[in-house]
């Protein structure tokens, strides 16, 4: 169907000149318009990333030169962000350094990769960072990072910046001091220690999880416990970090998953309107994304774009654990979430290429 009209007469010409002058755009003259920028699946190797993260420590210093020392995972096809909704970056904080307190309307998550002796303060609550911990910095909460240890601290930052910018709702405020006052230590964690029981006298109205710190030991225990009895055919032993007050996702714009891919498992392919940024927390395996095989090792990162077939496999004899940040809550809240299973070939895509980066 083509609805485009041509300019045939002088009367037409006058009409279109006038619409242009008064800034009206005839929809029937628009043609195909601009194609959406595509997001390619991509993978970053820790082997290549880690030395560059460590080297960044010699180039810039937080507080002195920059607010945060971060390296963004820059997916081909995008000028900003890691996907059209999520930006993911690696942040390095050296011993004795402070990334000064500020707050912004974009929401952030930290997924701790390496190091010890550093903490993030979120609204006065001091959260010690250990590898495998998930720490939330919900929209407009004060946060600063401090390394009081003797090792470099590295974590993955995940923010909804591209979405918030698109919605023109990006606000930012620096705190008057480098560090905000510490009101308590691990308080949000202590309030919700079991992950299921919560203080009975409190109604929680905030549009995000009141628990801000999910410790690795509990995440790992939950994965192994679920693995004893059940798994998803598409994602194997996949668990969503949940808000203890609602049971829903921890944030309104992003959700976080921890996923155990058991030895020998090859999941079935599916596709969703949501997208994801993955980190290989443990083990080895591969994902087939849009027919391309992405072999991953511990520490690697990869992107699954929206509406692209993907499946994960662990052909090794050891367990693999994936962490991911996904924009599912936005799509679901807007009634735009769709999911489709790949039905041919017993749920597995034909592999047409190997990603070499
Ligand atoms: C930010 O505030 C942090 O607070 C990290 O550590 C990464 C990327 C874009 C915008 C703000 C942080 C960020 C960021």
Rounded mean pLDDT of 221-239? 98
Residue carrying the six token digits 């970053």? 44
CB proximity list for 28: less than 8 A, separation 6 or greater: 3, 4, 5
Q: Would you state the CATH architecture of domain 42-354?
A: Sandwich (2.60)
pLDDT for res 346 = 96
Q: Strands 353-354 and 292-296, how do they pair?
A: parallel
- Counting residues of the chain whose pLDDT is more than 90, the rounded percentage is 90
pLDDT for res 33 = 63
CA torsion sign, 321 to 327 to 329 to 335? negative
Distances (CA, A) of 323 to 211, 256, 299: 18, 7, 10
Best residue among 63, 106, 142, 159 to mutate for probing ligand 1, ranked by most atoms within 8 Å of CB: 159
Atom number in ligand 1 closest to CA 99: 6
Rounded to the nearest angstrom, the distance between the alpha carbon of 219 and the centre of ligand 1 is: 25
The DSSP 8-state label assigned to residue 62 in this structure reads B
Best residue among 68, 80, 86, 212 to mutate for probing ligand 1, ranked by most atoms within 8 Å of CB: 68
| Number of helical (H) and strand (E) elements in the chain, helices listed first | 6, 24
Residue 334: other Cβ atoms inside 10 A: 9
Residue 53 has pLDDT above 80, yes or no: yes
Residue 1 has pLDDT above 60, yes or no: no
Please provide the size of the chain in residues. Answer: 357
Rounded to the nearest angstrom, the distance between the alpha carbon of 185 and the centre of ligand 1 is: 22
Residue 2 has pLDDT above 80, yes or no: no
Six token digits for residue 45 = 């190797």
Burial grade of 106 (CB within 10 A; 0-12, 13-18, 19 or more)? buried
Helix (H, G, I), strand (E, B) or coil at 87: strand
pLDDT tens readout for residues 74-132 = 999 899 999 999 999 999 999 999 999 999 999 999 999 999 999 999 999 999 999 99
Residue 188 has pLDDT above 70, yes or no: yes
Rounded mean pLDDT of 157-176? 98
- Counting residues of the chain whose pLDDT is more than 70, the rounded percentage is 97
CB proximity list for 109: less than 8 A, separation 6 or greater: 134, 135, 136, 137, 157, 158, 159, 250, 251, 254, 256, 325
* Ligand 1 environment, Cβ below 6 A: 68, 70, 87, 89, 91, 99, 104, 108, 143, 145, 157, 159, 161
Kindly indicate the confidence band of residue 292, based on its pLDDT and cuts at 50, 70 and 90. very high
pLDDT tens readout for residues 251-266 = 999 999 999 999 999 9
The structural domains of the chain, with segments of one domain joined by +, span: 42-354
């Amino acid at each position: 169907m083509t609805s485009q009209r041509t300019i045939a007469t002088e009367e037409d010409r006058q009409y279109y000149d006038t619409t242009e002058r008064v800034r009206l755009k005839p929809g029937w003259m628009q043609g195909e318009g601009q194609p959406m920028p595509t997001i390619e699946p991509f993978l970053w190797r820790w082997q290549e990333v880690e030395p560059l993260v460590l080297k960044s420590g010699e180039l810039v210093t937080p507080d002195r030169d920059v607010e945060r020392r971060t390296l963004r995972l820059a997916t081909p096809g995008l000028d900003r962000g890691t996907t059209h909704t999520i930006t993911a970056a690696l942040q390095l904080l050296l011993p004795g350094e402070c990334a000064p307190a500020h707050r912004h309307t974009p929401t952030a998550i930290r997924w701790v990769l390496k190091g010890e002796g550093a903490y993030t303060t979120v609204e006065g609550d001091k959260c010690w960072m250990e590898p495998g911990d998930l720490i939330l910095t919900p929209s407009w909460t004060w946060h600063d990072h401090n390394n009081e240890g003797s090792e470099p601290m590295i974590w993955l930052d995940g923010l909804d910046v591209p979405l918030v910018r698109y919605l023109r709702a990006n606000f930012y405020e620096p705190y008057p001091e480098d560090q905000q006052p510490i009101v308590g230590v691990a308080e949000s964690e202590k309030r919700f220690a079991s992950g299921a029981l919560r203080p009975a006298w409190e109604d929680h109205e905030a549009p995000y999880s009141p628990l801000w710190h999910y410790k690795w030991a509990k995440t790992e225990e939950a994965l192994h416990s679920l693995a004893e009895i059940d798994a998803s055919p598409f994602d194997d032993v996949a668990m969503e970090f949940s808000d203890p007050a609602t049971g829903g996702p921890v944030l309104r714009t992003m959700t976080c998953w921890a996923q155990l891919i058991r030895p020998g498992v090859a999941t079935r392919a599916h596709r969703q309107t949501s997208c994801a940024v993955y980190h290989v927390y443990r083990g080895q395996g591969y994902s087939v994304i849009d027919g391309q095989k992405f072999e991953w090792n511990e520490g690697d990162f990869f992107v699954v774009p929206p509406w692209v077939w993907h499946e994960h496999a662990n052909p090794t004899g050891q367990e693999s654990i994936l962490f991911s940040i996904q924009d599912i809550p936005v799509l679901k809240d807007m009634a735009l979430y769709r999911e489709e299973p790949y039905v041919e070939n017993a749920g597995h895509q034909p592999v047409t290429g190997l990603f070499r980066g």
